Structure formats: C-alpha cells, structure tokens
Amino acid sequence: MKSYIQEHIDDFLEKNQNKGRLLIKCPDQPGIVSAMSLFLKKNGANIIESNQFTTDHEGGTFFIRMEFECPDLQEKGQVLKEQFEDIADKFSMDWEIHFLHDVKKTAIFVSKELHCLRELLLEWQSGDLMTDIVVVISNHEECREIVESFNIPFYYIPANKDIRKEVEEKQLQLLRDYDVELIVLARYMQILTPEFVAAHKAQIINIHHSFLPAFIGANPHKRAFERGVKLIGATAHYVTNDLDEGPIIEQDIIRVNHRDNVEDLKKKGRSVERSVLARGVKWALEDRLIVYENKTIVL
C-alpha cells in the first residue's frame, strides 16, 4: 500500500521540486509586499499565489503567504534563507520558508475510535494529504490491522495518568526517531503534559467532538443532549496546556433535533469530525496556518 502512496509523493515532488512558500507575520507598515516581491524577483522566482491580511492597516499586525517557483531551488534554498534575514530584520518579521521538495513527516495518535484515522488514511491514499505518515501511536490495539495494512509502523503504548511521564518519554523518542514535524491527535483520548506540548509548539492538531467553546472536556454529546441543542459540531485546534483552549483551525456543524439520543449525536458528530480534522491537517501541510495570539490566520 505504501508503495502506491509513494507514487503520489514522487509525482508531487517532480511537479513541485522548485516551489516554495514564504509565511510572514510582522507589524503592518508600508513596503512589506514590495520588499518581498523584489527579493523573489532578484532570485529569479515567480510568485504563483499570494494571500495577505492585516488586523488594522494603522498599527496592526500583517500576515502574508506567498507561494513561488524558483529555478534550482533545491540548490538555492539555504542561500535564500540567509539573504532574507536582512528583510526580516528591517520589518521585524516572524517568518518561515518552506520548500515543497521537503515533504512533511506526520505522526498520528489515536485511541479506540477510528473514524478520524480512517479518513486521514483515505485522504492520504488518494494523494489529497501530501505528507509522509511515518508512524501511528496508540494506547489501544484496535487500529493495528488498518495501520499495518498501509505498511505504516504501528506502536502500541498503553497509557494512563499514573504512567504518563514514562509513556511520553517513549512517544517523544519515537517522534525524534522518525523526524516528525506534525502530530495529529485523531481522537487520542489522553491529556498531554506541558513538557510534551512545549516540545512541539504549534505542531500538534487535535479534533474535539464539539463546537468549541461549548462543551469543553469529556462527554460533550451527553451534555449537549441534556441541554437540548439543535446543532452539534467539531473543532480542529492546536494543542496548548489549557484543555481544548488552543487556537482554533477549523470548525463545522450539523443539525440535530429532539428525536436524536446521545448515540445519534455521536454518530452524526463523527462525520463532522472526520471532515473538519482532514481540512485542518491539509491546511497545516500546505503551510496556510499562522498562529496569532490564541487564534489562527488561515491564508
């Protein structure tokens, strides 16, 4: 299975080997776009896509994502980074350059419920999630068969609050061993420690099975049922040390009514969770997300 997926990756690399993405966050001021455009022009690059946003054109914060194509980018990449430092210093930029020939490596964490994992694997199989899923880690055995059918390394690491530190040491070592750049919690029902989160700041995406900020924490469908809601939803967000309070990436909803019991809500909610998480992960892989305070800017 993975050899088939590798064909998608190889095709992507062939078509995009000379493409890069430049993400910027800085104080809004005149000349930013001009300086970036001139920099790319001087290096023989052509701008393919550009999206920008400012919180306020007078004294606000400016965000921009530029995708560009540049001949011989694999050889020029490090030089571009070094040369851009002068512009970044001039405009007080927080910035990143990503090269599409460096396909991101992703790890998926999952517990017993597998619907989000299945969605991610199917999107990956079809080539719609351009990443290398290098490892799946679970505190249950339920997903072993499906993961290994994709020839992805699977690690079963039992976890509970009493052995959390020991468990996370093993997990963190696996993430280092596989050079993981993005972690997806696909219904992984364990709380991560501050040390784990700090080691992967703005690199951990979680799916919460409610429309945050409503029904934070456990059993949201039961509490939604008791409240008699007419809408339920799901939220993909970055993980922080505050439970379910991290920057929101994507959300969606579905209508429910008085005839739906708790199990009905869970069943309807799963379809929303799958699509919301897949979109959020896709945007992260496409370098469309910039964290600003406790929000995300999606460009």
Rounded to a whole number of angstroms, the distance between the first and last alpha carbons of the chain is 33
What's the one-letter identity of residue 29? Q
Could you give the C-alpha distances from 82 to 33, 66, 118, 284, 297, in angstroms and in order? 19, 18, 41, 24, 26
Two tokens, residue 220: 């949201």
Two tokens, residue 82: 């070094």
Measured CA to CA, the distance from residue 261 to residue 264 in angstroms comes to: 5
Measured CA to CA, the distance from residue 110 to residue 135 in angstroms comes to: 11
* Pairing label, strands 231-238, 248-255: antiparallel
Asked if 18 and 102 touch (Cβ cutoff 8 Å), the reply is no
List, by residue number, the catalytic residues. Answer: 244
Two tokens, residue 39: 């920099």
Measured CA to CA, the distance from residue 177 to residue 297 in angstroms comes to: 31
Asked if 119 and 278 touch (Cβ cutoff 8 Å), the reply is yes
What's the one-letter identity of residue 280? G
Sheet architecture: strand order including 204-208:
154-156, 132-138, 105-110, 182-185, 204-208, 231-238, 248-255
Asked if 290 and 268 touch (Cβ cutoff 8 Å), the reply is no
